[in-house]
Each structure stands twice: as C-alpha cells, then as structure tokens.
Amino acid sequence: MKDVSQVIIIRKDIQMSPTVFGRQVAHASYMCAMKGVSACISRLGQFSHRCTWYRKWSKDEKYQRILLGVDNEEALWAAHNKILKISQDVPLYVSKIEGYSNENPEMTACFCVGPVELEIIKQVIMHFQII
C-alpha cells in the first residue's frame, strides 16, 4: 500500500488565537478524512478492504499532516483550484469561522486535502510555504 498524507492549507492573514487555530486545523483534518471514508463507502456500498488507506492512515504513528500557509483568502481559493486541477477525486473540506467579526460574520479560514497518496501531496506542497 502506498503512503498517504493529509495537507491543511490555512490563511496567515487572520488573527487567530492558538486555540482557534488548532480547532480549525483539527476540524478540517477530521472532516476531510470522514469525507474520504464516506466517498469510499458510497463507491463500494460498504466499508471494505479497499478503504484500507483510512485504516493505515489513522493508525500509523508516522502519518503526516502537513500545514501550509497562504497570505489571504484569494490565495486560499487559488490553492483550492490548483488542487482540483491535480485531481478531482481527492477529499477536500473547507473550514469557516462563524461569528469572526461584525463586518465579516463568516470567514473561510482553511481547507484540507486528503488523506491521499503521497505523490499527489508532493504535487500540492511544491507550490506553497510550509508553516
């Protein structure tokens, strides 16, 4: 089985406390993994041996989550679109902060890709700054 990883791309221009930052990253990571499992189940009709990537990824002590930073929301959506050009089949999850401010009640904070094969991850991370 090939190695799998997950990438979370987060905006650096949002002033977030470490708690909010961690919560956004953890939420995006979990929801994206569940989206991948759900897609696997709907494709196969049940959770089967073909979904072993999830078992391997969730139980492997050495699995990777790579955190990348972008400068603003425009760059975040540009990254999102680049990933869709690389592969339409990867699990993606966009995480928003609700109630961020009166001027901007809902703000896109980050998105997550994967878990997917490391080869796809390498294509993604070469475009961005690891934080």
| Tens-digit pLDDT profile for residues 44-58 | 665 555 566 666 666
The domain that holds 94 is classified in CATH as 3.40.1490.10
| Alpha-carbon span 10 to 72, nearest angstrom | 9
Q: What's the number of domains the chain is made of?
A: 1
Q: Give residue 37's domain range.
A: 4-130
pTM: 0.74
Task: Give φ, ψ of 116 to 5 degrees.
Answer: -140, 170
Q: What pLDDT digit, counting tens, does each position of 111-130 carry?
A: 888 777 777 777 777 766 66
| Alpha-carbon span 67 to 112, nearest angstrom | 9
Q: What confidence tier does 59 reach under pLDDT thresholds 50, 70, 90?
A: low
- 26 closest CA partner among 90, 95, 122: 95
| Alpha-carbon span 19 to 12, nearest angstrom | 15
What are the counts of helices (DSSP H) followed by strands (DSSP E) for the chain? 4, 5
